[in-house]
Structure 1
Amino acid sequence: MKVLVTGATGFIGRPVVQQLREAGFEVRIASRHREPTSDAVLLPDPDAPAEAFLAIMQDVTHVVHCAALNNDRNASDADYLKANAELTGRLARAAALQAGGRFIYLSSIRAVAGPGFSGTIGETTTPAPQCAYGRSKREGEIRTLDAYRSAGRSDAAMLRLPPVHGEGMKGNLAALMRLADTALPLPTAALTGVRSLISCEAAARAVLHLLARDTPLDPIYVAGDHRPSRISEIITAFRRGFERPVRLFSMPGAPMRAAESLLGKGNAWETMTATQICDPSLLVSQGWAPETDTLEQLAEMARRSRFGA
């Protein structure tokens, strides 16, 4: 069976391709950008003719859609919508017509909740995205499910991921890793926010699991590592990998919140103190095993970054 993987040369796409090939799948890799050093095919633009999308589906059984726009400060709301919703909808319509297998869309918990949300996120959590990226990912989910329902099919699934850690990660986790790589004491012990994370390899294993299981798919899945981590634990793990003293100290929340507001970064406090726990129990009940050594993996990633291993 052949699997079309979009965003196959990206942060999550690479381990997805590796896992699929190791499992015996033939893979066609596709990218939104030209890749001169790879055999990736170019994804059509969102406004391309339908025939262009059908063409890349030739001989394809399954589709794993990893390609997305994220962490681009120069992108507008329209840019996010075009890359994450319009392209996704066109791809899903073509797959529903021509690919006989499953369509797995790598979505995000940002399609459900903003970074300041506190609570547990599961498949039934009411979507309330708070940023351009989250709104575009939610719209991508809607367009995918609509495309498959219109074709009378139910073999598309949204895989909502928490922040993903691994080599080449970006966003808040990368910022925390940079913050940890200093000998200065940090006032982070008071940051009791708890976050679910997932490694890029575990996300890839979830994709493989959804493609390989022999029972019908649910429309939405939430993934996450076995144990959520406190922000202070994440920084401590990075510092352990960098072989730096932990040197975290507590500071009352009110002065820190006031300082953030004066600096124009009031949302940063909400982000660092929010508790967002992803409940992967549906995936687990269907045979997927979450990783249990998140903090050890973060420490090892910092160690490799320091020593170039």
Structure 2
Amino acid sequence: MKVLVTGATGLVGRQVVKRLRDAGLEVRIASRHPERLGRTSDAVLLPGFDAPADAFLAVMQDVAHVVHCAALNNDRDASEHDYLAVNGALTGQLAGAAATLASGRFLYLSSIRAVVGPGFSGTIDEETLPAPQDAYGRSKREGEIRTLDAYRSAGRSDAAVLRLPPVHGEGMKGNLATLMRLADTALPLPTGALTGIRSLISSDAVAGAVLQLLTKSAALQPIYVAGDRPPATISEIVAAFRRGFGRPPRLLAVPGTPLRAAAKVLGKGKAWDALTASQICDPSLLVSEGWIPEADTLDQLTELARRRKSAAAHAR
């Protein structure tokens, strides 16, 4: 049984490929640069968003399942057109080809940004009404729509969207990487600015969810939300990183009200709202189908920082 994986060299894609191979599944990698993956890999060229349909059909030969991890992520300085081209149009092309030729399931790895903005506070589950607030979120939502529409148009129901909170692991980027860099300083941080609660997920846990959805006997639901349990406060996340770096927490008990007022005066009101928002992902549907969320998130963050410190020391 061959599984086509896109984005196989990224934070999540690497773990997905490893987990699938460990489970005895044959993997084909679709990449924009297949020549970099070595001769031992079954690697093909991932067409661009504007390639003809035949180019996408070609990569589906002998493929059962597709796991679409490739994306233009929100850590990039890209235009809305660029985001929609990669995360929307390319996804739709790939899903259309898979619905035509691939005999198994199609999993699209999306983001909670497809349904909520950075300042949203509340619980996110499969019933959360989509209200993306930025170009990246709108493009991921477009990819979700195109994926499910492609399969519905083909009379199929074996495609699903997996919405993810921020992902941690080796090579992570975005806000978690920023918090890790901040943690590796002597800068004291006010607890009043770190009150937000966040669901996170490890790249390995994502890979486990992918394997679960590909191999479970029951039919797929169209939308799933993943997340580790329990969620963590931003202050706990920073403290976990600092433990790994061997630094004291240095968290000051400063109330949030004056900090919020100062942020608004400085024109940083939206950034403040994002920092203090609580976004809790409810993975109950995935759990009901056999997936087990990880419960040691803070320990994993500490270990990430410890490995980062060790690697930096050896590089000197």
Shift of 1:252: 2.2
What is the TM-score with the length of structure 2 in the denominator?
Answer: 0.95
Shift of 1:73: 4.0
Paired residues of 2:189 and 2:250 also in contact (CA < 8 A): yes
Number of equivalent positions = 309
Q: Among residues 41, 44, 48, which one is paired with 1:41 in the alignment? A: 44
Paired residue secondary structure (2:128):
coil
Residue correspondence of structure 1 range 72-151 to structure 2 within 5 A: 72-151=75-154
The range that moved more, 53-62 or 259-268, is 259-268
Deviations 1:232-291 (A, max 9, x none): 100010011111011101222232123323443322211110000000000000000000
Distance 1:119 1:37 in 2: 41
2:16 — aligned with what? 16
Shift of 1:72: 4.1
Asked if residue 187 in structure 1 is aligned to residue 190 in structure 2, the reply is yes
Distance 1:194 1:289 in 2: 21
What is the TM-score with the length of structure 1 in the denominator?
Answer: 0.97
Q: Match for 1:3: what amino acid?
A: V
Residue correspondence of structure 1 range 18-33 to structure 2 within 5 A: 18-33=18-33
Deviations 1:31-68 (A, max 9, x none): 23455243432211111111100000000000000000
Q: Match for 1:15: what amino acid?
A: Q
Q: Match for 1:294: what amino acid?
A: T
Paired residues of 2:108 and 2:162 also in contact (CA < 8 A): yes
Distance 2:238 2:19 in 1: 29
Shift of 1:140: 0.4
2:303 — aligned with what? 300
Unaligned stretches of 5+ residues in structure 2:
none
1:249 — aligned with what? 252
The range that moved more, 197-206 or 37-46, is 37-46
Distance 1:32 1:204 in 2: 22
Paired residue secondary structure (2:66):
strand
Paired residue secondary structure (1:168):
coil
Shift of 1:212: 0.7
Unaligned stretches of 5+ residues in structure 1:
none
Distance 1:33 1:265 in 2: 39
Paired residues of 2:192 and 2:255 also in contact (CA < 8 A): no
Paired residues of 1:189 and 1:248 also in contact (CA < 8 A): no
Paired residues of 1:122 and 1:280 also in contact (CA < 8 A): yes
Q: Match for 2:29: what amino acid?
A: I
Indicate the percent of aligned positions where both proteins have the same amino acid: 73
Distance 1:259 1:173 in 2: 24
Paired residues of 1:107 and 1:141 also in contact (CA < 8 A): yes
RMSD over aligned Cα atoms: 1.3
